[in-house]
């Protein structure tokens, strides 16, 4: 009975159950893939076009659904480039967002939802946030534990130099 609680024994038992214990000829039988390995994980992704040019986060892609202290908040973010003062960041924060749905929001909205793109260049260091935006986001999956967040988005962000950028083809995929 003591061997039943040995972790190595339990692991061997699970593996035997998943692969089958029969030593019969299996030439005509199909290979069975365990359910755990049936679907390879999709890499987390944050991408969009900024004035027609592809922008894709290459690190710190993050999705958060209803973080502690913020009921009904959905947070999307990611960073691109070197981890220094030129690092570009994108954040999309939806408040009063209970789950999936379509969210159209502008600067000064009653829910305080916001979006920003920072550090496109030394001169153009902030778009959106307090400078202005008009945005559309569609949340297609929003699960808290484990976090699964999928979305698409587009809109216009006003910059610190008075110009604006158009965001199109925004895609977000985050699975914890």
pLDDT score for 41: 56
Secondary structure of the chain in HEC code, one letter for each residue: CHHHHCHHHHHHHHHHHHHCCCCCCCCCCCCCCCHHHCCCCCCCEEEEEECCEEEECCEEEEEEECCCCCCCEEEEEEEECCCCCCCEEEEEEEECCCCCEEEEEECCCCCCCEEEEECCCCCCCEEEHHHCEEEEEEEEEEECCCCEEEEEEEEEEEECCCCEEEEEEEEEEEEC
15 versus 134: the higher-pLDDT residue is 134
**What would the mean pLDDT of 34-57 be, rounded to a whole number?**
78
Q: What confidence category does residue 37 fall into, taking pLDDT thresholds of 50, 70 and 90? A: very low
Q: What percent of the chain has pLDDT over 90?
A: 74
pLDDT score for 71: 82
9 versus 45: the higher-pLDDT residue is 45
Number of domains in the chain: 1
Q: What confidence category does residue 16 fall into, taking pLDDT thresholds of 50, 70 and 90? A: very low
pLDDT tens, 46-100? 999 999 999 999 999 999 999 998 889 999 999 999 999 999 999 999 999 999 9
Residue 43 has pLDDT above 80, yes or no: yes
Residue 115 is assigned to a structural domain of this protein: yes
Q: Which domain holds residue 161?
A: 41-175
Residue 127 is assigned to a structural domain of this protein: yes
Residue 149 is assigned to a structural domain of this protein: yes
**What would the mean pLDDT of 7-25 be, rounded to a whole number?**
35
């Amino acid at each position: 009975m003591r061997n039943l609680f040995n972790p190595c024994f339990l692991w061997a038992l699970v593996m035997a159950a998943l692969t089958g214990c029969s030593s019969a000829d299996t030439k005509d039988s199909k290979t069975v893939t365990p359910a755990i390995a049936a679907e390879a994980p999709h890499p987390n992704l944050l991408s969009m076009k900024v004035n027609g040019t592809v922008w894709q986060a290459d690190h710190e892609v993050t999705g958060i659904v209803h973080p502690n202290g913020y009921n009904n908040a959905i947070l999307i973010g990611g960073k691109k480039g070197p981890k220094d003062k030129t690092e570009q960041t994108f954040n999309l924060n939806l408040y009063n967002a209970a789950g999936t749905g379509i969210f159209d929001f502008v600067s000064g909205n009653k829910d305080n939802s916001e979006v920003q793109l920072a550090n496109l260049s030394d001169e153009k260091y902030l778009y959106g946030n307090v400078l202005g935006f008009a945005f559309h986001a569609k949340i297609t999956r929003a699960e808290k534990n484990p976090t699964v967040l999928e979305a698409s988005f587009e809109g216009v962000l006003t910059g610190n130099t008075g110009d604006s950028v158009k965001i199109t083809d925004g895609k977000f995929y985050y699975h914890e």
